[in-house]
Amino acid sequence: MVRRISTTDPPIPLSEIEITKTKPILQCGNKTRFIIALQGSLFLAALMGNITCWNAALIKVAEIESSPLYEDYLNGTTVDWTDDNLPFEDMRVDLSPIQISLLFAASFAGSALFVLPATFVMKKIGTYRTQVILGSITTAAAALTPWATVTNFNLLLVLRLIQGMCQCNPYPVIGAIVTTWAAPKEKGIFVALLTGYTQLCAVITTPIASYLANHYGWPSVFYFQAAFCGFFLVLWVLNYRDDPETHWSVSEKEFRKISTGKMSAVELANVKVPFYRVLTKMSVWACIIGAICYIYAAQFTISFLVMYLVWVMKWPITIAGSLSALPLVVQFSLQFCTGLLSDKITFINEHTKIRLFCTLTFTGTGIGLILLTFIPSSNTLLSTIITIISLSFLGFNAGGFPKSAVLISTRKPASVMGFVQAALTFGLLTGSFIVPILTPDRSFPEYSNLFRIYGALLIAANIFFVIFCRAETENFAYGDEISDITNVRVDSVARK
């Protein structure tokens, strides 16, 4: 039937609408929503992996010792390492430090430049289509990377920029999936699964990329990554929908569980949220500041921890690589447990829970980092244990600012999550310079100064978050403006 909605009409919760849904093609035990969350996390991890896999390939790209032509080179034969007649895996490219820095900066620049445009596109064409476009582009870019590497540096730079562009909106995607697919009492576990994409990427991409680069040549890293990302792109095309009601395996029972207390998808699409209104709320700034300080510590764990363990703690590179993976494994486990606890604990209100989990994340990590500065570097074992434990506290983050961002923006998640993503990108970009600038000599005193700064920032961010955070929908998300008069067709729907 057709129902007219005007600005004077109150929103209609889906729980008050009688819905007759066609029988699903295949039922998944009424758990389709969890499959959606898991595949979303893996897809985001694959997109991020297209950027991080370069770390392992870079070592072999310039390493002539690993080329089959190295023996001929030692015997005095002149070898043109960029000869077009050579297969890609035998070719080598000597990249200067400036070129390497530009390649890393290009991916960050791509993310920074396109985070807000991508959020705008998501609001116009939906999460499904946006990710299909970005996933297709980044998959093609990954497959073309070996060719670009040996052909022209500028081409490679453009591909890195494109890869960054395609990795510009994970948090808006997370917000959209949680808001659309999570049942009201399951938002914590959804946030935990989806925000765990960073740990999944590090645990999956880094070891596989290293193995492939060592055994099958550096181009195999990018071919595998293109296939890996392409697989989850196809899965996204086949199995994701912006509206659970239209999904081929969502039963009427599961749809009712998902939709209880929510607005209909049609009415939700008509809510307009100006960007300026989002930034007037201190609860949004609490999430933004929290995101920046969180990503500083998370980036150190993923990108710089292994260097610290080798240069300062004096661990061999093989042992340091294994030790640096431990906090990531613990973080992912803690995120899952945090998500469950955040949903299941009922004797504490949501506001208190997000404060508690944020405090465990920020203050726990901050105190641990500051404590490290008082332990002599000669005490390697104790310092390493404290490092791993303190960085593992980041796993409680699933119940902190990401969940708060979801709760305050239930009606228009892309608006808040777009700014959170911009904050994360800003943190990644600045953090890439902060660590090298503060540790030029790779000494213990320099890293101690870094830990004091990061620790103080985390504790300060926690105080700000505890004061200004909220756990309920902000006024801007209720949308005072709904289109003046909208004709809405609701198929198979009738008032109870």
Q: Write the DSSP string, 365-409.
A: HHHHHHHHTTS-TT-HHHHHHHHHHHHHGGGGGGGSHHHHHHHHT
How are beta strands 2-6 and 485-489 bridged, if at all?
antiparallel
Q: In the prediction, which pLDDT does 482 show? A: 42
In CATH terms, are 28-66+87-262 and 273-496 the same topology? Answer: yes
Burial of 467 (0-12, 13-18, 19+ CB in 10 A): exposed
Under 8 Å between Cβ of 32 and 254: yes
Burial of 481 (0-12, 13-18, 19+ CB in 10 A): exposed
Q: In the prediction, which pLDDT does 484 show? A: 37
Under 8 Å between Cβ of 56 and 214: no
**What SS3 class is residue 485?**
strand
Residue 492 region, left (φ>0) first, then alpha (ψ -120 to 50), else beta?
left
CA angle, 331 as apex, 172 and 33 as ends, to 5°? 45
Q: In the prediction, which pLDDT does 302 show? A: 84
**DSSP structure class, residue 4:** E
- Token pair of 263, please? 């607005």
Residue 222, CA distances (Å) to 42, 65, 140, 149, 213 in order:
17, 21, 10, 11, 10
Q: In the prediction, which pLDDT does 268 show? A: 56
Q: In the prediction, which pLDDT does 203 show? A: 83
Q: In the prediction, which pLDDT does 254 show? A: 87
**pTM (two decimals):** 0.80
Q: In the prediction, which pLDDT does 495 show? A: 32
Mean pLDDT by 10 residues, the chain (496 residues): 41 48 63 92 93 79 63 56 64 77 84 87 90 95 91 91 91 90 88 89 83 84 94 95 88 85 58 72 94 94 86 84 86 89 89 95 97 93 95 93 87 78 89 88 93 97 96 68 38 35
Q: In the prediction, which pLDDT does 432 show? A: 82
Q: In the prediction, which pLDDT does 294 show? A: 96
User: How far is residue 123's CA from residue 361's CA, in Å, rounded to a whole number?
Assistant: 31
Give the containing element (helix H, strand E) for 486. Answer: strand 485-489
Under CATH, what is the fold of the domain 28-66+87-262? Growth Hormone; Chain: A; (1.20.1250)
Q: In the prediction, which pLDDT does 494 show? A: 33
**How many other C-beta atoms lie within 10 A of the C-beta of residue 184?**
14
How are beta strands 493-495 and 17-19 bridged, if at all?
antiparallel
**What SS3 class is residue 151?**
helix
- CATH of the domain spanning 273-496, picked from 1.10.10.10, 1.20.1250.20, 2.60.40.10, 3.60.70.12: 1.20.1250.20
Strand partners, 19: 493
Task: Indicate the domain borders of the chain.
Answer: 28-66+87-262, 273-496
Q: In the prediction, which pLDDT does 24 show? A: 61
Under 8 Å between Cβ of 293 and 427: yes
